[in-house]
Amino acid sequence: MRSVSASVMALVAGCAMLANAQSCPSIHIFGARETTVGPGYGSAGRLVDMIRAANSGATSEAITYPACGGQSSCGGIQYGDSVRQGTAAVASAVNSFHQRCPNAQIVLVGYSQGGQIMDNALCGGPDSGAGISSSTPPISASAINQIRAAIFLGSPRYQYGVASQVGTCRAGGFSARPSGYVCANAAKLRSYCDSQDPYCCNGNDANHHQQYVSIYGQQALTFVNSQLSSGGGGGGGGGGGGGGGGTPSPTCAALWGQCGGQGWQGATCCSQGTCRASNQWYSQCVN
């Protein structure tokens, strides 16, 4: 009887694992909203929708965190506390999903404070304003291997001077990474910021802070799709200041992939199409 019971339990467990695997998407997108916006995706939602529309069967979920900066509308939680909780929430959501669906490709999209918490989760700290001292990313190494692309829009962690940082800003945000810092997973990410922005840069036009999907959405989508089609290069764990970026590609970039730009260390030729400059920081293989 015990033998039969054990066999039945093993069969049930096997069926559960199979059902779980069959319910996993091939691509899953995490989105994180900006400060004071109610639960959901916030301004990250438009880009999340664009990625889902371009990749049939892709699924998505919003990160649950305070998204607050001391305002009564979000419970009065101070900004640093919100960032710390949000960083932990990103890591928990990504790690839990990866445990359920280890073969699924993952995309991160964060807007403003949402970009900061995703930056911390993918690249590690320190982030003194949030009380984060560890340079080790809280997302597991195996989950990071499945993260194909990360898009940060108007993130206060923006710092001018490295290839993964895109836009017209020539300074840094109010919680900027140190000058010269390169995330160990930099090949997977693009962070967008313009000079007019008072949060990710030193500008004075708060309205511009809400325009990144309109300005860079298509460029970001192209990067994400290129990363998904190529399996997402570079990185694979270990945070910490001053770590190297992704390993330079020994072959030509695929169609729609990056092929140049100031500070770019990857491929500078195209296996298909022509390498054309979008700006001084970003060149792309296009038809």
Residues designated as active site: 112, 197, 209
- Closest to 21 in 3D by CA, of 118, 131, 102, 111: 102
Q: Which residues contact 198 (CB under 8 A, 6 or more apart)?
A: 204, 205, 206, 209
Alpha-carbon distances of 275 from 22, 216, 220, 231, rounded to whole Å: 39, 18, 17, 20
**Token pair belonging to 190:** 């693009």
Q: Strand 258-260 and strand 282-286: pairing?
A: antiparallel
Beta-carbon count within 10 A of 221 CB:
20
Phi and psi torsions of 202, nearest 5°: -125, 30
CA within 13 Å, CB half, 256: 13
Cα gap 160→233, rounded to integer Å:
22
* All residues at 6 or more sequence positions from 195 whose CB lies less than 8 Å from its CB, including other chains: 167, 168, 169, 170, 171, 201, 202, 203
Give the tokens for residue 175: 């919680």
**Within the chain, how many helices (H) and strands (E) appear?**
6, 9
